[in-house]
Structure 1
Amino acid sequence: MLPLTDRQIRSSFLNCSRKDAARLPLPPGLDTLDWDRLDYLGWRDPQSPRRGYAVVPTEDGPKGIVVQTAARAGTGKQALCAWCQDVRLPHPVVLWVARRAGAAGRAGSTVGTLICEDFQCSANVRKRPPMPYKGFDMDAHVEGLIEGLRERSRGFLASVDR
């Protein structure tokens, strides 16, 4: 992912007003992020922990969405993140819901998906799994996971922007 400035981040949001985008908190440590190891930028709002933000690179430049989650239900079962699809998650996955962009969102239309609670997907897809068999191409496997994350995050973004 290419480095983003605070201005690029704030101007990327599809499903909130410009005024709301101007007031949203930026990710902590923005100037120290390892952009080469990020496939999207995601963070939680420190003032409102049920709110999160994700900025996804697209062919048309970065596009951001505001998402929200319900209070944790605590079913006791581990869910699969729809973006990174990591089956060895050490942390919870929650349902994040985004208001659709434009008139549909103003009318109350939303779309949701299961994503890692603190947006750790980029780190998850880069974890090297145990070697399944001799000759397994680990680098190709990790690259496939990274590309899958990028496709699925862009797909969710497209469903918000419809």
Structure 2
Amino acid sequence: MRSLTERDIRGSFVNCSKGEAQRLSVPRDLGERDWEALDFLGWRDPGAPDRSYLVTERGNRLVGVTLRLASAQRGFLHRSMCSLCLTTHPGSGVSLMTARKAGAAGREGNSVGLYMCTDLACSLYVRGKKVPEGGGRFQESLTTEEQIERTLGNLSAFLGKLDVPGAE
């Protein structure tokens, strides 16, 4: 992924108003990110624990989506798998995140949900740059590049369900 500026990020959101995009919390460490190791930028809002954001390149444009975390917490012994990167986590390491659909459907209240790594660090887990606390990744016969492509395919499918325009 190419490096992003705050302006890039705020202008990318497709499922919230421009005013909401201007008010949301943007990471302060953009200059320190390992952009080459990211397939998408994902972060939690420190001021609103039920909100997360994801920005990715889709086709030749940036696409950002606002996400809401479900409030249900799981016990530490319960394990869940992220639907994007297939990393398993104990407890609350995977959360159901919902996003309003883009356009008129979203304004009518329609949304789509997906179980994702709560910290949205899928790119780092797939590449082995981050290890989930108490969790892990299955040993696979796929190469790292193939796992990255699968993760991107899963993300693209999710964005497609949100009616986000761009390349499939």
TM-score band by shorter chain is 0.7 to 0.9
Hey, what's the Cα distance between the residues in 2 that align with 1:73 and 1:131?
27
Q: After TM superposition, list the pairs within 5 Å mapping 1:1-162 onto structure 2.
A: 1-74=1-74, 76-87=77-88, 89=89, 92-127=93-128, 141-161=143-163
Deviations 1:16-48 (A, max 9, x none): 000110111112311111100000000000110
Identity of aligned residues (%): 39
AA aligned opposite 2:160? A
Moved segments of 4+, more than 3 Å: 128-132
Unpaired runs of 5+ in structure 2?
130-136
Unpaired runs of 5+ in structure 1?
none
Would the alpha carbon gap of residues 74 and 5 (structure 1) be closer, same or farther in structure 2, given more than 3 Å must change?
Answer: same
TM-score by length of 2: 0.84
Would the alpha carbon gap of residues 109 and 29 (structure 1) be closer, same or farther in structure 2, given more than 3 Å must change?
Answer: same
Counterpart of 2:160 in 1: which secondary structure?
helix
Counterpart of 2:144 in 1: which secondary structure?
helix
The answer to which of 140-149 and 97-106 deviates more is 140-149
Paired residues, what number?
155
Q: CA deviation at 1:117?
A: 0.5
Counterpart of 1:119 in 2: which secondary structure?
coil
TM-score by length of 1: 0.87
The answer to which of 72-81 and 109-118 deviates more is 72-81
